[in-house]
Amino acid sequence: MADSNRSFADLGLSETLTRTVMDLGYEEPTPIQAQAIPLLLAGGDLLGRAATGTGKTAAFALPLLQRLAGLPADRRPRGFIVVPTRELAMQVAQAIHTYGKQQGASVLAVYGGASFGHQARALKRGVDVVVATPGRALDHLRRGTLVLDAVVEVVLDEADEMLDMGFQEDIEALLSAVPEQRRIAFFSATFPRHLRRVAARFLKDPQQVEIDPDDDEPGELPRVRQVIYLVRRAHKEAALARVLDMETPDAALVFCRTRIAVDQLSDAMASRGYRAEALHGGLSQQQRDRVMDRLREKAADLVIATDVAARGIDIEHLSHVINFDLPTSPDQYIHRIGRTGRAGREGVAISLAEPRERRLLNSIEHRTGTRLELQAVPSVADLRERRLDQVRDRVNKVALGGDLAPFQRAVEKLMEQLEISEIAAAALKALADEMSPDDDYSQEIPEVAGRGPHNGGGGGGGARQGGRHERQQTRWGGQDTRGDRPQRRPRSAGAGWTKVYIGAGRLLGIRPGDLFGAIVNETGLPRGAVGAIQITDRFSIVEVPEEHVDRVIAAMRATKLRGRRVDVRRDREG
């Protein structure tokens, strides 16, 4: 990560391009950009190992545009980018258009399955950059509608994919048609032998850059449960909402790539009823301090941040780190998730990955030496079941709290008309309706297939196998039995409340009602003196008012839970 703190301006980019990326909300170069841009600006050939999602498009597009800006006008293309698929051709052309708008660079995507004549006419009118799939590019070249004589910058993107798809001869023919005086850069997620042979034939002393070196030691991982959900971009917000409602995090840090994305997501989550705060490099120190205070005081559940902004903050209580956008390198992944699971407590790292980022996932697995489990986004049925769990916990707690006499009389009255089970079920339904957030689970979140042939070992993974039972057992939080709406709950703890660690959890069969009952019975404190209860597999955390904390600890040490004496102390982070 040596380069990770370089700014765009340090890389040698022009003022115009630097301003362009700042305006897009990019706060700093990604690792592949920090390494590749200075080398490309210096002029030599390059082999860059990077997958989609690492920011590789800007890594080659920005230097290419800068080179073109210094050249005299010509109708013939100066930049030539070859990509494996029509979809990628459109994406890369769109990126070039966005990055090159200020300098008025024109770009054309040329791919099979679209009108040849239309493309030929556009080429004839003149463009600065052509982004093409190999087969169609070769057709145009042979018919004279694509002229490569003036090309100075050549990029092969996803070069390994192109060879896998059988385009080697086409690529060699295209590379043979560009002038001698040009620069060629290959970008690829892997460099298999046949690709190296093509590189050896066409590239001159290429420099090599990579963000996932083979010989690195695996990164050190904290004790963190890691979950990946594969979702398309358009469904990410809805997926995040469902995941949050399932997990009910105590305090979550959500990472986005750009400032603009941070602002958009925090608005979107706020309008869905979450207490979300935005944190990015565009805020003043005072504004940042205010966000952090709100998180510490538990007046916010989510902080949505860029990496740059998150780097400058120190939050202790993170139960969850959520990669709304995947990090741009395996190292950054390790860095981000290291913010949870501290001080021996289990944390949760959740990533929402897009299908096209599967190879970045593979390189994260490779770097961390772990297999990342793909899970299906919680279904509406999962969320309903979760809500029922919460209703049951709530009822348990109230039953243990006593003071039921007036209600028992009401039940007797109702029993004149209804069966007892009907009364109980109706009361639960009323409670569930009341606890239900103003959610919108109606949006369909379609399944996306698993990681396909580049799976990095093991089966596909993404397919649903019937909801909750496939979820891992360990789930942090979610057992707050105090709020009226456990999902997107109002959190009143904070100032004046202290967390007590109790060394027994779900694996010993501990439920919130057990802890609540034990504390109230053993201390004689009022029920209101027990705050949020969180239960994980191996331990539980209970919030109590600071003035009662010693009494609670003494009483709980003297008592047995499920027949055992357990460790009870102030939570280190409380």
Interface residues with ligand AMP (CB under 6 A) are: 26, 29-30, 33, 52-58, 257-258
| C-beta closer to ligand AMP: residue 211 or 504 | 211
- Burial track 480-503 (b if 16+ CB lie within 10 A, e otherwise): bbbbeebbbbebebeeebbbbbbe
| Shortest Å, Cβ 151 to ligand AMP | 22
| Shortest Å, Cβ 103 to ligand AMP | 18
Alpha carbon dihedral 378, 384, 388, 394, in 10-degree steps, equals 80
| C-beta closer to ligand AMP: residue 258 or 379 | 258
What is the distance between the alpha carbons of residues 127 and 125, in angstroms, rounded to a whole number?
Answer: 7
**Are the beta carbons of 172 and 141 closer than 8 angstroms?**
no
| C-beta closer to ligand AMP: residue 58 or 175 | 58
| Shortest Å, Cβ 360 to ligand AMP | 8
| Shortest Å, Cβ 8 to ligand AMP | 7
| C-beta closer to ligand AMP: residue 91 or 340 | 91
Find, among 175, 183, 95, the residue nearest to 131 by Cα.
95
Instruction: Taking the CA atoms of 216, 219, 225 and 230 in sequence, report the sign of the dihedral they define.
Output: negative
Beta-strand (E) ranges in 37-78? Answer: 46-49
| Shortest Å, Cβ 229 to ligand AMP | 18
At 55, list the tokens: 């920011």
Please give the backbone phi and psi of residue 492, each rounded to the nearest 5 degrees, phi first: -105, -15
| C-beta closer to ligand AMP: residue 26 or 476 | 26
Q: Compute the half-sphere exposure of residue 219: CA atoms within 13 Å on the CB side of its CA.
A: 24
| Shortest Å, Cβ 528 to ligand AMP | 47
| C-beta closer to ligand AMP: residue 30 or 35 | 30
What is the distance between the alpha carbons of residues 303 and 295, in angstroms, rounded to a whole number?
Answer: 7
**Are the beta carbons of 165 and 88 closer than 8 angstroms?**
no
For helices 56-69 and 31-42, give the axis angle rounded to 10 degrees. 30
| C-beta closer to ligand AMP: residue 61 or 163 | 61
| Shortest Å, Cβ 48 to ligand AMP | 11
Find, among 185, 188, 175, 187, the residue nearest to 206 by Cα.
185
Find, among 511, 509, 546, the residue nearest to 531 by Cα.
546
| Shortest Å, Cβ 172 to ligand AMP | 25
| Shortest Å, Cβ 185 to ligand AMP | 14
* Residues 6 or more apart in contact with residue 402 via CB below 8 angstroms: none
| Shortest Å, Cβ 157 to ligand AMP | 9
| Shortest Å, Cβ 411 to ligand AMP | 58
Find, among 349, 365, 117, the residue nearest to 249 by Cα.
349
| C-beta closer to ligand AMP: residue 30 or 319 | 30
| C-beta closer to ligand AMP: residue 29 or 478 | 29
- Using Cβ positions, the residue closest to ligand AMP within the complex turns out to be 57
User: What's the count of helices (H) and strands (E) in the chain, helices before strands?
Assistant: 20, 18
What is the distance between the alpha carbons of residues 88 and 111, in angstroms, rounded to a whole number?
Answer: 10
| C-beta closer to ligand AMP: residue 90 or 432 | 90
| C-beta closer to ligand AMP: residue 83 or 175 | 83
| C-beta closer to ligand AMP: residue 257 or 320 | 257
Find, among 295, 285, 335, 297, the residue nearest to 318 by Cα.
295
At 279, list the tokens: 């944190």
How many angstroms separate the Cα of 394 from the Cα of each of 14, 391, 474, 486, 517? 60, 5, 20, 10, 12
H-helix or E-strand containing 374?
Answer: strand 373-375
| Shortest Å, Cβ 34 to ligand AMP | 9
